[in-house]
Amino acid sequence: MDTSYVENSSDSRRKSLRSVTSETLVARWRAAFPVLRARVHGKPLVYLDNAATTQKPQAVIDAVSRFYAQDNANVHRGVHALSQRATDAFEAARARVQAFLHAASAAEIIFVRGSTEAINLVAQSYARPLLVPDDEILVSAMEHHSNIVPWQQVCQQTGAVLKVVPINEAGEFQFPEYERLLGARTRLVAVTHVSNALGSVNDIARITALAHEKGVPVLVDGAQAIAHVRVDVRALDCDFYVFSGHKCFGPTGIGVLYGKRERLEAMPPWQAGGDMVRSVSFEETEYMPVPHRFEAGTPNICGAIGLGAALNFISAIGPEAIAAHEQRLLSHASAEIQWIPGARIVGTAWHKASILSFVIDGVHPHDIGSILDREGIAIRTGHHCAMPAMQQFGLASGTARASFAFYNTLEEVEQLVEGVRRVQEMFQ
């Protein structure tokens, strides 16, 4: 046993934490991200807003620029060499996503703009034709607006009702209430894998198992999970899984809808146009099989290729190594911030990802954010597009949120803590 953990001095705790993390390894991961060498307001950038968007490694930047410099053409079209190369690269990216999610088939991977579009696609193409008045959609109280509003919209369109699974004061999904709410009228469960505002990690396998007992499919919002935890859609047994490329070190404007093949094949197209049809006449149109049926128009080819490169990058490090390092950052930051007078951590779930939401008595999150920004520290402040969750905690102004990625260091955590301490002193 490492006895230095037992000592009650933060210095020795810091030292022991350091010895666990190979600093050279983190430095090597870090070196792959050019923007992390930037300076803001004359200070080295400390980027702790990874839940909003992640930075891009050189490998992704190179994949994107190489495509435009060497291979650019439209996909699934021409007979010429570049079109073939573009198609191969685009479909290779799809296969890369399939492998990353451990999906059964590449046909289950649909490229969309991001998580939001993926959820809207399922709401409009899966749920809307199915729902009748008084049917129910179940979401949780910790959802991002993007996993609330599309369901509210489809409820308005069909007369269905949105039901909410509560969370406790730690920010944990409440299974007893969930089981009670799962009823004969439940048509779909839509729940986040990791809460963007609280950091809670949900037990998706248990959520899907309970839903499937009642024959109810489950959509999982993986936007905050994809860069931080291992995702195996077959082990989770979810019916739909969505995520955004930019939250896992890939480009913006590209995202993924995973759907079980039998679900997707039963769904009508959402958007119509070119690339999703086999034959068109003015009398009749025959659609392409999945996944192309859901990809109308020229897709974000380069975005998909960049996403493939990003997933390669994550796989090379390994989700387990990423999670272990991020947990060290989270526990160190949590331990230090909770000792700052007047500071309180919001979201204390037993199983958390590397998201640290906090408030300081008498200090508005916006002021915390501005002051830290001038120290070069980037965090997010406000309601984090999760106003219902903030309301539950009585936080009209939201929280300050530091969110870590594998390229963050313990030194950066210490800078954050020092900055927060100064903010608290200033407003004392």
Partner 1 sequence: MSREIAGLYQRIVLEHCKRPRNFGALKDANRKAGGDNPLCGDHIDVYVRLERGSILDIAFAGVSCAVAKASASLMTEAMMGRDAVGGRALLQKFEQMVGSGCSEPDPELGDLRAFADVRDFPSRVQCAMLAWDALRTVLYQDLG
Min. distance of Cβ 52 from partner 1 in angstroms? Answer: 13
* Token pair belonging to 354: 């590397």
Min. distance of Cβ 366 from partner 1 in angstroms? Answer: 4
* 162, 224, 249, 44 alpha-carbon torsion, rounded to 10°: 120
CA 215 from centre of chain:
26
Where do we find the tokens 């469960």? 189
What is the Cα–Cα distance from 316 to 229, expressed in whole angstroms? 14
From the number of C-beta atoms within 10 Å of its C-beta (0-12, 13-18, 19+), residue 271 rates as middle
* Token pair belonging to 263: 């679900």
Q: Is the dihedral of CA 221, 227, 230, 234 positive or negative?
A: positive
CB nearer to partner 1: give 180 or 422: 422
CB nearer to partner 1: give 324 or 396: 396
CB nearer to partner 1: give 102 or 421: 421
Question: Quick check: helix, strand or coil at residue 412?
Answer: helix
Min. distance of Cβ 185 from partner 1 in angstroms? Answer: 33
CB nearer to partner 1: give 317 or 387: 387
CB nearer to partner 1: give 197 or 304: 197
Positions that interact with partner 1 (CB under 8 A): 41, 362-367, 370-371, 374-375, 381-383, 387, 396-398, 422, 426-427
The residues annotated as belonging to the active site are 385
Min. distance of Cβ 121 from partner 1 in angstroms? Answer: 27
Min. distance of Cβ 427 from partner 1 in angstroms? Answer: 7
What is the Cα–Cα distance from 119 to 191, expressed in whole angstroms? 11
Min. distance of Cβ 389 from partner 1 in angstroms? Answer: 13
CB nearer to partner 1: give 22 or 428: 428
Question: Quick check: helix, strand or coil at residue 244?
Answer: strand
> Cβ distance 174 to 158 under 8 Å?
no
Neighbour tally for 237: CB within 10 Å: 16
Short-list 151, 139, 154, 119, CA closest to 257? 119
DSSP 83-105: HHHHHHHHHHHHHHHHHHHT-S-
CB nearer to partner 1: give 377 or 413: 377
State the DSSP H helix or E strand holding residue 112, giving kind and residue range, or none if neither: strand 109-112
Short-list 409, 311, 257, CA closest to 57? 311
Contacts of 360 by beta carbon, 8 Å cutoff, 6+ apart: 340, 342, 343, 344, 368, 400, 420, 423, 424, 427
Min. distance of Cβ 149 from partner 1 in angstroms? Answer: 15
